A and B are shown apart, each in its own frame.
Chain A
Amino acid sequence: MNPRWRAWIIAALAAAVVAAALYFPSLRNHVKQAAKITQETEEQARRELTQPFLAKPGEPRIRAKLYWASHADDEALTPVSVELPLGNDPVLRAKQVLNTLLAGPVDSELRTLPPDAALLEFYLLPNGTGIADFSEALATSTPSGIASERLAVQSIARTLEANVPQVKRLKILIHGQEVDTLAGHLDLSGTFPLSPTSAPPATKKP
């Protein structure tokens, strides 16, 4: 091969390697963003499928008590009154308050549950055990730690306690499965006892 051509080919290959090296970080970012968008879309689709509009038109609105993080102490909960069209059926009622809890407060810093988590199903056993089945995001997106996991579970328990008196105990499942811990610390293998004392009255007929 002509030495001049060989030099050109080597130079072209070197330029291609440099260009590829420069382009690689950008390509990696694109791939990451695409993966994130796909994940969010899947989560959104799951939410839309699993959260039908529960409130029946014409149902009176009741002041429900939801528990989010406190402004004063980031390790404590504070009750917030929210007007919701709550029904008499305890399962529907539980779904409504938990979905509102998941939607989060106006101030996102007071959230106790991750924004991408969804309630997949809620069951109520005859013995008063309420089983809340959450999407995997509850386990994967809750910050790991005793304090943060405790706050997440307590906000669910206290909210049910205040609004659905039929639920005596709470069991949390992740994607239909019983798990050992929420995010490495808090024990989810058992049930959490609830003591409903201040539940709002059942819906009055208009």
Chain B
Amino acid sequence: MLLDVQTAFQNSARRDFPAVVRRLVSPLGFSGMLLASATMLLWQFIAPESKVIARNPASSQLQTAPVSNSPGGTLASRPALNNFPVNIQSNVLNTVVLDPAHGGTDPGARGTGGLRESDVVLQFTAQIRRALELQGFQVVLTRLGDADPSFDDRSAMANAQRGAVFVTVHISSTGLPGTARVYVAEDQPPMNGPIAEPTGLIPWDQAQEPFLGLSRKLGDVVQGLLAQKFKGSPSVAQSAAVRQLRTTAAPAIAVEISSVSVEKREDLDRMAPGVAEAIARGIVTFKPSYVVASTATPLQSGTPVASPTGAPR
């Protein structure tokens, strides 16, 4: 009985084999396979960033690792990030990490007309990226599509860069439409002892502390330029305990544009070129301050952490 079944199977397989081969090598199937292979090959070349973000396992691989990101070489402990491109060329400001806030299941602010903050910021960051690249900066985006990396994942992408500033872009749900505000992290005394650990590492949760001076300088420059373009915007940056900024070991600002409550989406879209230009020009203006700070504060590993502005903590 068993033998009969095996023989029948072998006969059937022998009979069907040419049919399978014919189907595989038929012009339609063959060209389909060729097209799929070509697409995959092309994707490897044209989308290296999206590939890296998809493979980023930061949240599941938290461990302490030293990273040098400050102009003065401040050490910070951070979640280890494998396979992310690290710019280790120089201490000069040449990279901008752009963070389109929210994404994925987190839409952020939602307008009555169905506008979602997570969608609008993608358009804004696309324009900001172009403006920055025109000024010669390398731009790293924390997300490309509708993904939602965690706060720590986004900070880890910034902390892996050297010679970088971080800009997170938001759209508010309140406020005077047509205005833009820049926020920097609040200068709070650390609650759990001194910021520098005996190892010279900065606790991940206080990564922004040594950069507050530079962040304030960058924020004021960008806010001043935004105020010139958008009447009703404040003239200097404001302080706020923005979660995303706290774990970022680089000069970091949050830019919030008002608002998803606009009557027409076009009203927001019209702001995008002005916002992009102000941010790009602001970072260009800020660039010399970053270089001066880097030469002013050489830092040896194991010594108390010095702020990039030169003042020891």
**Residues of chain A having any CB pair with chain B under 8 Å:** 74-75, 143-148, 150, 153, 169, 180-181, 184-187, 189-193
Contacts and interface: CB of A to CB of B under 8 A. Distances in A.
Given A144-B117, A145-B109, A180-B151, A185 B173 contact: no
B108 A191 contact: no
B175 interface: yes
Interface stretch (B52-60, B212-220, B235-243, B279-287): B235-243
Contacts of B151: 180
A111 B239 CA distance: 21
13 contacts: A74-B174, A74-B176, A143-B174, A144-B108, A144-B117, A145-B171, A147-B256, A150-B241, A185-B170, A185-B244, A186-B243, A189-B205, A191-B191
Contacts of B244: 185
Contacts of A185: 170, 242-244
A187 B206 CA distance: 12
Given A147-B181, A147-B256, A185-B170, A180 B243 contact: yes
B44 to A, nearest CB: 35
Contacts of B242: 146, 185-187
Given A184-B108, A191-B191, A193-B189, A148 B241 contact: no
B183 interface: yes
A189 B117 CA distance: 23
Nearest to A184: B108
Contacts of A75: 175, 181, 234
Contacts of A187: 241-243, 246
Nearest to B259: A145
Interface of B: 102, 106, 108-110, 117, 151, 170-176, 181, 183, 188-189, 191, 205, 234, 238, 240-244, 246, 254, 256, 258-259
B102 A184 contact: yes
Which 7 residue pairs across A and B have the least CB separation, nearest first?
A: A145-B172, A187-B243, A143-B173, A187-B241, A144-B109, A148-B174, A150-B240
Nearest to B239: A150
A186 B240 contact: yes
Contacts of B102: 184
A150 B254 CA distance: 13
B105 to A, nearest CB: 12
Contact of B175 (A145, A181, A186): A145
B222 to A, nearest CB: 15
B173 A146 contact: no
Find the residue from B117, B173, B234, B259 having the highest chain A CB count within 10 A: B173
A145 B108 CA distance: 8
A169 B191 CA distance: 10
A75 B239 CA distance: 12
Contacts of B189: 193
B80 to A, nearest CB: 21
Contacts of A190: 188, 191, 241
Contact of A146 (B191, B205, B234, B240): B240
